[in-house]
A and B are shown apart, each in its own frame.
Chain A
Amino acid sequence: MGLFAPWFLAGLIAAGLPLWLHLLRQYRENPQRFSSLMFFERRLQSSTKRRRLQYPMLLALRLALLALLVLAFANPFVRRMERETARRKLTVIAVDRSFSMRYGDNMQRAKAEARRIIGQLNGSDIAEVIALDSRVEALTRPETDRNILISAIDSIQAGDLASSFGELTRALRVIGENAGMRLDVYFISDMQESSMPADFADLRLGANTFLKLHCIGDSGAPNWAVETVSAPTHIYGAGQARVSATIAGWNTPMASRRVSLLLNGKIIASKEVSIPANGRAGIEFLSFEAPYGANRGEIRIEPHDPLPNDDEVPFSIERADPRKVLFLYQGSRSREAFYYKAAMESSTEAGLTIESMFAENAAGADLSKYSFVVLGDDGELDQVLERKLREYVRRGGGLLISIGPSVERAGRVPVTGDRVAGRLDQQSPGFLDGQHPALAGVGRLENVQFFVAGRLSSTPDARVIARFADASPLVLEQRIGEGRVLTFDSTLDNSTSDFCLHPSFLPFVVQTGRFLAGSDDASLNVTTGTPVQLRRGADQATAAEVIGPDGKHELSLAQATKSRDFNLDREGFYEVQRADGKRLLMAVHSDRRESDLRRASDETLALWRNTGSTGQPAQSGQAKQETRPWNLWRYFLFLALLVALVESVFASRYLREGQKAA
């Protein structure tokens, strides 16, 4: 017998209470003066002695009641032999289908091992097949039919995702809790070290889970891979592209590899590179031409090794003319457009050119041909133009609004309708959200002085991404429909601040421009498992589209109109058309951690195994005797209740006797 909470035994001190009540308290607190004690005899009169004689049962009951309560809280248990049959366990066969399982014949061996395990199961055993990569997929329900289990095993193919043992552990805990029975888990994997979670606590198995690991593959298998590729996603105008790559080897001797640059399936450049043992080598392809439009690039090394899929890395590169940005200004405030244009066009990466226009003349302009619109300080915007701008934004356009004396006088920000109430003098920048894509890399706007600004009051749907030193909003971000609006609480010239004279103005203009133009969206070159955003809002008016590496449509009709994201799970090129009409060519490659085939140490794997139940899983079809803790607190509590009832009966009887005596 043991106790789950032995510290509750300290409560036995309370047993002294009835002893005190029975033996000490009564007469100690009730002395009486009496004329003479000559007729009392000491030998008979000790109330302590008399009470011991008179109320032993009551005392015993009270002591027992307290002891039982204390024991109940101490949560006692006994270990009881239990006969466990195969019916009460669930066998889980987990097969790793991550990218690394493409190495050699690892996947075939894993399937053969899984089939062997299934073959050893008893006819009445319940088993379930699950597949693991970065997620866990149940391929069958708990079944006794061996054919279904084997079919599920046969259907498993190595994928392009990385495996996560933490995710497997979490899934096993859920399965164990739902099944309510013992889990015998057979995990078949190459046991890559890179699949271990950062925190070992994520590997804690359920108490009733027996994990048996089946290692497939060779821990010391050599593997070369294209580890990284650095290529621009866009080339504007007549510029030329430059691509660099890193070739890495794991458990490899020094070797030479031919590295090729392919563009749209054609090798346009090749180089020999010498890779040191267990090392890395860099390579660059300079000044190559890429045709207009989206191009499918690829870096490939040859000859291939037993894991050929990581010998290639696709990348997407698009050549396009610079996009236009419309700058609307009032007649008297053309300096804003001048400063903005100078800053934007000084950057070659932005790919944006500025067109300036009087706001009075813009009512008939076709806004759809502009990547985004900048609205200079204009508090008297024409209503037709304002409606047009609002509609432009709602359809996915971007808008940057600067606020100066004109908007301040009007007291209202055009398009967004935010209020400007009051005036701020001599402010410096305060908080800037560097994590926000519109301000990434902008810095802290050091030494910038805002001489005068309107006090902007934000609406609840606006997000403040930068503030003045007194916490008033400096930059607001709002979403209207599919589009984005940035409100800058200053002008873009030097009339109300010296911002445009500081170096930080340049990255601010470029980064906010990229954000509004949509160039900030996740890189076109991503690893497997990365989600791509299909739509920003809940607008279902337009459909999105995804065409996979094999040229097939990936979305159902419902997904095309409702899904906001899509996971890019396979290597290759995805053609994505977002709900706002923008087309992307996404290049997806597997996580290169999968290329490192080193196995986790035996100690680590043993520790993982031991987080669950120790010992070996029960043999199929065999009944097993095992000891389990059997909790007794309910019985102690029931006994305590019983004793309390008896005690009350005895106590009331003594009370009646006492009253009679009195």
Chain B
Amino acid sequence: MPAELTKRFLDPAVLAEISSLDLVARTVVEGFIAGLHRSPDFGFSQEFAEYRAYTPGDDLRHVDWNVFARTERAYLKRYRGETNTEVMVLLDASASMGFASGAVSKFDYSKFLASALVYLAHLQRDSTGLVVFHDDVADFVRPSGRQGQLMRLLHAIDRARLGKRTNFSKPFFELQQALKRRGITVLISDFFESAENIVRTVEPLRFRGNQLVLFHVLDRGELEPRLPQAALLIDMETDEAIEASPEYARTEYRGRIGAHLDHLRSKAHAAGFEYFFLPTDRPLDEALREYFTVRRHRI
């Protein structure tokens, strides 16, 4: 990516200095939208479905005023998602998400991402919910499109705190029970688990007609760890300790984590998931724009 283009996007470190997640989400979303040709149907549930005659009680904001001008009848513009799409954001709050080699930790970055997604979904009038989990469900906001849902979601994201270790099995089982409608499920995690295990755990969501999107968030320090000298590494989730040498971190580790990324991407695609890799040093608006561009072309 050209440097001048990169400069247009927001450095995650800048986002970290904004205390309000609302503002972060607005900044990110408006930022990546501003970089595109404005499109009214840009979002998760972007498929136009039909016009419906206005009935008292409908939200006037959804009235298609162009049609009204031409026909003097009020019609509401309806999208496919409004009828059957529900966006559920699953945010991993395990201890490993607290890792940071720079100004922004994976968890902060994931919070920004989750905020941006729920904000975007709100703009699209999608029914949006949130699950914060680690080895258990830490917080759950039921999907809804009602007034105030956005703020509820943002508050839930804001108060999310790191837990202990990641355990997909238990929260996903409970989530399967909670999700009654098919929709889009967004899973934000560092996926420090075997690809098979991840896919096996989240695959049941796919069987219910859900679209599953995996946002794989990793720190640059996890991809290319820098050890100036031999060090005793302590696992943030298990407190397990292991001695690591700079040479191993420089060579074999990078190969292994690269293989893990490739394998997870491959397995996710094979299982029909969308997989998107997000290093924390990448501008979030730029990443989202790329993701949605790819997604629109795919659809």
Interface pair A50/B247, CB less than 8 Å apart: yes
Considering only residues 247-291 of chain A, those with a C-beta below 8 Å from chain B are none
Interface pair A32/B192, CB less than 8 Å apart: no
Other-chain contact of B245, A32, A38, A39, A47 (Cβ < 8 Å): A47
Interface pair A35/B246, CB less than 8 Å apart: no
> Please, which residue of chain A has its CB at the minimum distance from the CB of B234?
A33
A51→B243 CA distance, assembly (Å): 11
B164 to chain A, nearest CB (A): 13
Report if A34-B192 is in contact (Cβ < 8 Å); known contacts: A40-B253, A45-B242: no
Interface pair A661/B246, CB less than 8 Å apart: yes
> Please, which residue of chain A has its CB at the minimum distance from the CB of B105?
A35
- Chain A residue numbers with a CB within 8 Å of B106 are 35
> Please, which residue of chain A has its CB at the minimum distance from the CB of B257?
A39
Interface pair A45/B243, CB less than 8 Å apart: yes
Interface check A42, CB cutoff 8 A: yes
A285→B235 CA distance, assembly (Å): 117
Which of A26, A34, A35 counts the most chain B CB atoms within 10 A? A35
Over the window 50-76 of chain A, the binary record of Cβ atoms lying under 8 Å from chain B Cβ atoms (1 yes, 0 no) is 110010000000000000000000000
Interface pair B248/A45, CB less than 8 Å apart: yes
A58 to chain B, nearest CB (A): 14
Interface pair A658/B229, CB less than 8 Å apart: yes
Interface check A36, CB cutoff 8 A: yes
Interface pair A38/B234, CB less than 8 Å apart: no
Interface pair B232/A35, CB less than 8 Å apart: no
A277→B232 CA distance, assembly (Å): 97
A35→B106 CA distance, assembly (Å): 10
Interface pair B226/A31, CB less than 8 Å apart: no
Interface check B155, CB cutoff 8 A: no
Over the window 238-280 of chain B, the binary record of Cβ atoms lying under 8 Å from chain A Cβ atoms (1 yes, 0 no) is 1011111111101011001100100000000000000000000
Report if A34-B243 is in contact (Cβ < 8 Å); known contacts: A39-B253, A39-B260, A661-B250: no
Other-chain contact of A44, B222, B227, B233, B248 (Cβ < 8 Å): B248
Interface check B127, CB cutoff 8 A: no
Considering only residues 25-42 of chain B, those with a C-beta below 8 Å from chain A are none
Other-chain contact of B222, A27, A35, A51 (Cβ < 8 Å): A35
A210 to chain B, nearest CB (A): 64
- Chain A residue numbers with a CB within 8 Å of B237 are 35-36
A34→B234 CA distance, assembly (Å): 6
Which of A32, A37, A44, A48 counts the most chain B CB atoms within 10 A? A37
A37→B240 CA distance, assembly (Å): 8
- Chain B residue numbers with a CB within 8 Å of A28 are 232
B198 to chain A, nearest CB (A): 12
Interface check A622, CB cutoff 8 A: no
Interface pair A38/B243, CB less than 8 Å apart: no
Interface check A541, CB cutoff 8 A: no
- Chain B residue numbers with a CB within 8 Å of A50 are 230, 245, 247-248
Report if A662-B236 is in contact (Cβ < 8 Å); known contacts: A35-B99, A39-B260: no
Interface check A567, CB cutoff 8 A: no
Other-chain contact of B234, A32, A48, A658 (Cβ < 8 Å): A32
A595→B105 CA distance, assembly (Å): 108
Interface check A332, CB cutoff 8 A: no
Interface check A652, CB cutoff 8 A: no
Report if A34-B228 is in contact (Cβ < 8 Å); known contacts: A47-B245, A661-B250: no
A69→B219 CA distance, assembly (Å): 50
A661→B253 CA distance, assembly (Å): 14
Interface check B96, CB cutoff 8 A: yes
> Please, which residue of chain B has its CB at the minimum distance from the CB of A48?
B243
Other-chain contact of A39, B98, B230, B256 (Cβ < 8 Å): B256
A36→B235 CA distance, assembly (Å): 5
- Chain B residue numbers with a CB within 8 Å of A34 are 99, 222, 225, 233-236
- Chain B residue numbers with a CB within 8 Å of A31 are 231-234, 241
A51 to chain B, nearest CB (A): 7
Other-chain contact of B236, A30, A33, A39, A51 (Cβ < 8 Å): A33
Interface check A46, CB cutoff 8 A: yes
B65 to chain A, nearest CB (A): 51
Interface check B190, CB cutoff 8 A: yes
A542→B219 CA distance, assembly (Å): 109
- Chain B residue numbers with a CB within 8 Å of A26 are 229-231
> Please, which residue of chain A has its CB at the minimum distance from the CB of B95?
A35
A40→B231 CA distance, assembly (Å): 12
A70 to chain B, nearest CB (A): 29
Interface pair B230/A51, CB less than 8 Å apart: yes
Interface pair B231/A27, CB less than 8 Å apart: yes
A385 to chain B, nearest CB (A): 99
A421→B98 CA distance, assembly (Å): 94
Interface pair B190/A661, CB less than 8 Å apart: no
- Chain A residue numbers with a CB within 8 Å of B96 are 35-36
A37 to chain B, nearest CB (A): 5
B101 to chain A, nearest CB (A): 10
A270→B84 CA distance, assembly (Å): 162
A653→B171 CA distance, assembly (Å): 53
Considering only residues 611-662 of chain A, those with a C-beta below 8 Å from chain B are 658, 661-662
A44→B230 CA distance, assembly (Å): 12
A305 to chain B, nearest CB (A): 96
Interface pair B248/A661, CB less than 8 Å apart: no
A28→B243 CA distance, assembly (Å): 9
B132 to chain A, nearest CB (A): 18
B281 to chain A, nearest CB (A): 15
Considering only residues 86-104 of chain A, those with a C-beta below 8 Å from chain B are none
Over the window 455-493 of chain A, the binary record of Cβ atoms lying under 8 Å from chain B Cβ atoms (1 yes, 0 no) is 000000000000000000000000000000000000000
Considering only residues 6-39 of chain A, those with a C-beta below 8 Å from chain B are 26-28, 30-39
A39→B238 CA distance, assembly (Å): 14
> Please, which residue of chain B has its CB at the minimum distance from the CB of A29?
B232
A42→B227 CA distance, assembly (Å): 17
B235 to chain A, nearest CB (A): 5
Interface pair B242/A40, CB less than 8 Å apart: yes
B216 to chain A, nearest CB (A): 13
Other-chain contact of B242, A30, A35, A37, A54 (Cβ < 8 Å): A37
- Chain A residue numbers with a CB within 8 Å of B99 are 33-35
Considering only residues 106-164 of chain B, those with a C-beta below 8 Å from chain A are 106
Interface pair A45/B236, CB less than 8 Å apart: no
Interface pair A661/B230, CB less than 8 Å apart: no
Which of B96, B240, B245, B252 counts the most chain A CB atoms within 10 A? B245
A32→B248 CA distance, assembly (Å): 16
A592 to chain B, nearest CB (A): 87
Interface pair B233/A37, CB less than 8 Å apart: yes
> Please, which residue of chain B has its CB at the minimum distance from the CB of A44?
B248
Report if A662-B246 is in contact (Cβ < 8 Å); known contacts: A31-B231, A32-B233: yes
Other-chain contact of B243, A27, A33, A658, A662 (Cβ < 8 Å): A27
Interface pair B232/A30, CB less than 8 Å apart: yes
A50→B234 CA distance, assembly (Å): 19
B186 to chain A, nearest CB (A): 21
- Chain B residue numbers with a CB within 8 Å of A36 are 96, 190, 192, 222, 235-237
Report if A46-B235 is in contact (Cβ < 8 Å); known contacts: A39-B257, A40-B248: no
Other-chain contact of A30, B97, B229, B235, B250 (Cβ < 8 Å): B229
> Please, which residue of chain A has its CB at the minimum distance from the CB of B235?
A37
- Chain A residue numbers with a CB within 8 Å of B252 are 44
Which of A27, A31, A32, A46 counts the most chain B CB atoms within 10 A? A27
A131→B120 CA distance, assembly (Å): 121
A405→B214 CA distance, assembly (Å): 123
Given contacts A26-B230, A38-B192, A46-B243, 15 further A-B contacts (CB under 8 A): A27-B243, A31-B232, A34-B235, A35-B96, A35-B106, A35-B236, A37-B242, A39-B253, A40-B253, A42-B242, A45-B243, A45-B244, A50-B247, A50-B248, A51-B230
A-to-B contact residues, CB < 8 Å? 26-28, 30-40, 42, 44-48, 50-51, 54, 658, 661-662
B-to-A contact residues, CB < 8 Å? 96-99, 106, 190, 192-193, 219, 222, 225-238, 240-248, 250, 252-253, 256-257, 260
**Which 5 pairs show the lowest CB-CB distances between chains A and B?**
A47-B230, A35-B99, A36-B192, A35-B96, A662-B228
Q: List 6 A-B contacts (CB under 8 A).
A: A32-B234, A33-B236, A35-B236, A40-B244, A40-B253, A658-B246
